[in-house]
A and B are shown apart, each in its own frame.
Chain A
Amino acid sequence: MIEVEHLTKKYGDARGINDVSFSVAKGDILGFLGPNGAGKTTTMRILTCFMPATSGVARVAGYDVFEDSLNVRKRIGYLPETVPLYTDMQVPVYLRFVAGLKDIPYRKINSRVADIMERVGLTHMAHKYIGELSKGYRQRVGLAQALINDPEVLILDEPTIGLDPKQIIEIRSLIKGLSGERTIILSSHILPEVSAICKQIVIIDEGKIKAMDTPENLTAQLRSSDKVRVRCSGSKEEVVKAFRGLDGVKSVDSGNDAGAYTVEFSGAQENRSSQVARAVLESRWDLYELTPVKMSLEDIFIKIVTEEGV
């Protein structure tokens, strides 16, 4: 549905993005992850035809964003990061304006606006001016304008930024509810958000793609070490010695809690916990707790953007 090949955008001498390539299949949700200024917004602005790229090709629904911009723009809904709206318009007036521009037949505009307002939970705000709305409701108006023509592709730039936790959850479930038929690209610098919503993740930093995969694969692929947390009886020295003797052990940390240890293995393998459990049982200690410690997306992200050549 979305194909991006060797996309580069330069701002004078500074590079916005450099040789970015990725593709999104129909119905997928792609998460763009990266620190501030990494090039997420630049990529989205190119995809939405706001800004032409310096070089490279981007296609949405088979149409080139530069050559066939109007056809692309008919098929996308875009929510920019700052949610720019006309504050001096009333909510339904604004949505009718957008609906008109987005080629919705004149007779259907009113029913369409009513539908979408109900869907994003704006019906009780119908008499308000956009300038009077709180950030969360403005975000909904932003989503409503993006969704009004039922677009095939949704591009959302930091859709939950600046919202309170309750609103974040609402907006997230709203976005999740939209997937299926629609292809969605969303950007964020909040990791749990991306891992919660997206099927595919692109990690971007300093204008370059650093990694691209599903959240699970990313975690698995980049797991350079496995950790298992254990609590058991037995004297500290003996336990540490027993764990050190296990296959592939990198280090054993006896920590601050009495009887609690963290065993780190080098290399990724599935049966680490059972190895540890067996060692404890063979020595006839009591096993109180056994937890495999997964590397979080957060760790991976930090690792990718801070280390070169992962």
Chain B
Amino acid sequence: MKNFFFILTKEMKSYFNSPVAFVVATIFSVLAGYQFYVIFAKFSQLSFEAQTNPAVASQFGALNVTEMVIRPFFNVVSTVMLIMLPMLTMRVFAEEWKAGTMELLLTFPVRDEEAIMGKFAGCMGIFTLMLLLSFPSVALVGYYGDPEWEVVITGYMGLFLMGGAFVSMGLFMSSLTENQVIAAALSFAALLILFMLGYTSGLVGENLGKVLEYVSITFHFQKFAKGVIDTSDIIYYILFTALFLFLSMRSVESKRWRG
């Protein structure tokens, strides 16, 4: 357990020693913030129109800030995560394999699982900081409007769980290669496919569609964004994360055997 914390701290620190954390977090905030501006501005425009034009008002019903700002914003954040998290995770193992520091780390009295969980937790720490940076946008909605805070809470919970899944996939891809670009490309591709599966579910018939929907990494987020906590969604993300952390461990082990 002690080793886990040493590695966790070291990982978090190394994100700030190199400018990776700053660059990734800044881009994340800019992309999410810009999208937030678009969503929020459109909503306020609609609200104005609805005051004078009954046609608009009847088209959108009661204009609901949670439904029309908070939920789309969370979806935007999840897309930005899809792009930015592979860039956060790509270095974790690939850099160490390339520099040879992994060899030294594995000869320290550290269990493989402590090393991997430490690295995972380090990435999750940085990711949590990134998520916190998106909160001012939500707070702004709270200042000017009256969103349902329950939805905000479940939304962040969903984003956090989904982030864990993204990070574990990224770690696994990074453990496979010495090349950071390959690691990022592979994890982006894998996540994108899992992301898109939800969209194709309508095209392939009912039963297969259900399966695809269930496998899709975004489908399970939708209920969180609506304010619903479904254990099956929580379990999906936890199992997903556990599976790829386990595979990372196997992959590290296999690299050791092959030398």
Contacts and interface: CB of A to CB of B under 8 A. Distances in A.
23 contacts: A9-B259, A11-B258, A42-B259, A45-B259, A50-B103, A50-B256, A52-B256, A52-B257, A70-B109, A70-B111, A73-B107, A73-B109, A80-B100, A84-B100, A85-B104, A86-B99, A86-B101, A88-B18, A89-B10, A89-B13, A89-B17, A98-B108, A100-B2
Interface in A64-90: 70, 73-74, 76, 78, 80, 82, 84-89
B235 interface: no
A239 interface: no
Contacts of A93: 13
Contacts of B107: 48-50, 73, 76, 78
A50 B142 CA distance: 54
A270 interface: no
A101 interface: yes
B204 to A, nearest CB: 42
A207 interface: no
A88 B14 contact: yes
A121 to B, nearest CB: 21
Interface residues of A, number: 31
Interface in A96-116: 97-98, 100-103
Contacts of B109: 70, 73-74, 101-103
A16 interface: yes
Contacts of A102: 108-109
B3 interface: yes
B55 interface: no
B10 A97 contact: yes
Nearest to A99: B6
Given A70-B111, A74-B109, A101-B109, A84 B104 contact: yes
A126 to B, nearest CB: 16
A211 to B, nearest CB: 26
A7 B257 CA distance: 15
A196 interface: no
B123 to A, nearest CB: 16
A48 B109 CA distance: 10
Contacts of B30: none
Given A50-B256, A87-B99, A88-B17, 19 more contacts: A45-B103, A45-B259, A50-B106, A51-B257, A52-B256, A73-B107, A73-B109, A74-B109, A78-B107, A80-B100, A82-B100, A84-B100, A84-B101, A88-B18, A93-B13, A100-B2, A100-B3, A101-B3, A101-B108
B190 interface: no
A89 B105 CA distance: 15
A282 to B, nearest CB: 64
B27 interface: no
Contacts of A101: 3, 6-7, 108-110
Nearest to A78: B107
Nearest to B115: A101
Contacts of B106: 49-50
Interface in A124-171: 145
A30 B258 CA distance: 27
